[in-house]
Structure 1
Amino acid sequence: MLSRIAEALFWIGRYVERADDTARLLDVHVQLLAEDPWAEEDLACRSLLSVMDRPVPAPDVEVGREQVLAVLAYERWSASSVTGAVLAARENARRVREIISTELWECLNATWSLLPAMTTSTGPHEFFTWVRERSAMVAGIVDSAVSRDETWQFLVLGRSIERADMTARLLTTRALAGSTGPSWTALLRSCGAYEAFLRTYRGAASDERMAGFLLRDRLFPRSVVHALEQADVCLSGLEPVVDRSTVEDARRHVGQVRAALEFSRLGDLVDDLPGQMALVQRGCSAASDAVRARYFPTPLVTTWVGEAL
């Protein structure tokens, strides 16, 4: 497979997952601020911008939900916003139109076509729900109609690394915002994990168990550990082990983060949640850099130019 094709597939997986997870994160925060008149909106919005690595205004400037939505939901020229990620995913799909299936292309292209109407004629909750549904459709096509070859492995590798990173950010927002942030129950619901959590623990809920479920449940697809396991499976498929004494850099970074989560006491992880999640994010970033260096190295910086809506 050509390196440019592998790179586009990898980023399609990442961008679709980024749009989905950012929509989930924003939806739970916006609903919380709308429903709780006593919520400290400025603190919650600053925490959210900080967690998403976006510039935080000066302390004397009040930050509200409108500014957060403009930056993280509707900004077209940044691939870290919901709208920008959708546009970037479609642009990468256009570049590899001869590789991906017709169903996958039509799904991404239809999402791109409907995006202007959805951003202008619906409220935030309806827009985020629509993004989640379209992302689920892409994931369903990838999992049900793509051969388990290099195409699928690069798509799912990108999705898995992004999912681990974004779930870590979701957990960080809860830790930083404290009582002004969403409850653990709200976070579980935003990930579609609430019913699965209740079945696992027979309804015996606690903050530590809820955090642990999103951190390292091996059966739930959106947990950090499950996403890292899926990334390791994809890396193993792309690079079968020949020399049993060495490990590729990407697998090493993924394995180190995964081992730190699996073999640490859950209480220690929860007590230092922002610090531990920062380690997860750095590990995911290092793994992404290692994948880029191994499979699509280039001396030039790849930039994405969005198409006008």
Structure 2
Amino acid sequence: MLSRLAGSVFHVGSAVERADVVARMLDVYVVRPDAGVVDDEDVVGPTLHRVVGARSPGRRRLRAAVVESLALDRHEPASVAHAVGVARDHARRAREVVSTELWDCLDVTRSRMPRKVAVDRAHEFLAWVRERSALAVGVVEGDVSRDEVWEFFTLGRSLLRCGLTARLLASPLVDTGSAASWTTALRACGAGEAFRRGRDHHGVAPRDAAGF
């Protein structure tokens, strides 16, 4: 595979994963925070910006402003909307190796990305983003070929997830001694159900959650 095509496929995977992870973190920590989550808007907004690699807000950010910035701001490189655009643009550059199904998925997602979302509809919007990301991943995973397209797409996804997970775990959003905080962190990483599966208790031991 030509390096330019490999690079574009890598960026598609990374951008799809960013859209999913940022949407999940926004939903868990900002839109519908659980008990045990840091409840100080002066802390949550700037901290989440640092975790996802966004520009520093430079001032107090209310929850609605954080959603606006990290979900819908097309000029913010770390936002969901920007990630969707990047995924679509790089898929277009790699059309000769990207499947028609993946291209259609990303093109439709980009065309339906709203510019404004009411605060009380933010959860539904973020769920839609996660569904579209899952569809893109499913299209790639459903292909019978485990070729270089699959490899570079998966590499882009994996490295992005590793980086954002590491930043989250090192941030003040996780109280390392709190079971409730670890429960929320697992949900933010999309690992809550996987952690509980096969366990015969409902509690979350911080050591077990950290190890997982």
Instruction: Give the TM-score normalised by structure 2.
Output: 0.85
Cα distance between partner residues in 1 of 2:9 and 2:82: 17
Q: Which amino acid aligns with 2:77?
A: A
Structure 1, unpaired ranges of 5+ = 214-309
2:90 to 92, 100, 107: 92
Cα distance between partner residues in 1 of 2:135 and 2:60: 38
Structure 2, unpaired ranges of 5+ = none
Cα distance between partner residues in 2 of 1:193 and 1:51: 18
- Rate the CA distance shift 1:163–1:46 in 2: closer, same or farther, 3 A: same
2:143 to 118, 126, 145: 145
Cα distance between partner residues in 1 of 2:153 and 2:73: 25
1:185 and 2:183 correspond: yes
* Displacement after TM superposition at 1:68 (Å): 1.7
Deviations 1:48-91 (Å, cap 9, x if unpaired)? 12223334355xx4322133222211110233111000011001
Bigger radius of gyration: 1
Contact preservation (8 Å) 2:183, 2:204? no
* Displacement after TM superposition at 1:211 (Å): 1.9
* Displacement after TM superposition at 1:21 (Å): 0.4
Cα distance between partner residues in 2 of 1:33 and 1:63: 16
The answer for the alignment partner of 1:2 in structure 2 is 2
- Identical residues among aligned pairs (%): 46
Secondary structure of 2:197's aligned partner: helix
The answer for the alignment partner of 2:205 in structure 1 is 206
Q: Which amino acid aligns with 2:128?
A: W
* Displacement after TM superposition at 1:35 (Å): 7.7
How many pairs are equivalent?
Answer: 208
- Rate the CA distance shift 1:183–1:32 in 2: closer, same or farther, 3 A: farther
Secondary structure of 2:204's aligned partner: coil
The answer for the alignment partner of 1:106 in structure 2 is 104
1:11-160 matches, within 5 Å, as: 11-32=11-32, 39-58=39-58, 61-116=59-114, 119-120=116-117, 123-145=121-143, 147-160=145-158
Cα distance between partner residues in 2 of 1:30 and 1:176: 11
- Rate the CA distance shift 1:80–1:54 in 2: closer, same or farther, 3 A: closer
Q: Which amino acid aligns with 2:12?
A: I
- Rate the CA distance shift 1:33–1:197 in 2: closer, same or farther, 3 A: closer
Cα distance between partner residues in 2 of 1:196 and 1:186: 13
Contact preservation (8 Å) 1:28, 1:190? yes
Cα distance between partner residues in 1 of 2:51 and 2:210: 17
Deviations 1:233-274 (Å, cap 9, x if unpaired)? xxxxxxxxxxxxxxxxxxxxxxxxxxxxxxxxxxxxxxxxxx
Cα distance between partner residues in 2 of 1:100 and 1:194: 32
Aligned-pair Cα RMSD in Å: 2.7
Cα distance between partner residues in 1 of 2:18 and 2:99: 21
* Displacement after TM superposition at 1:177 (Å): 5.7
1:133-282 matches, within 5 Å, as: 133-145=131-143, 147-173=145-171, 175-176=172-173, 178=175, 183-203=181-201, 205-213=204-212
Contact preservation (8 Å) 2:182, 2:204? no
Contact preservation (8 Å) 2:20, 2:130? yes
Cα distance between partner residues in 2 of 1:110 and 1:19: 15
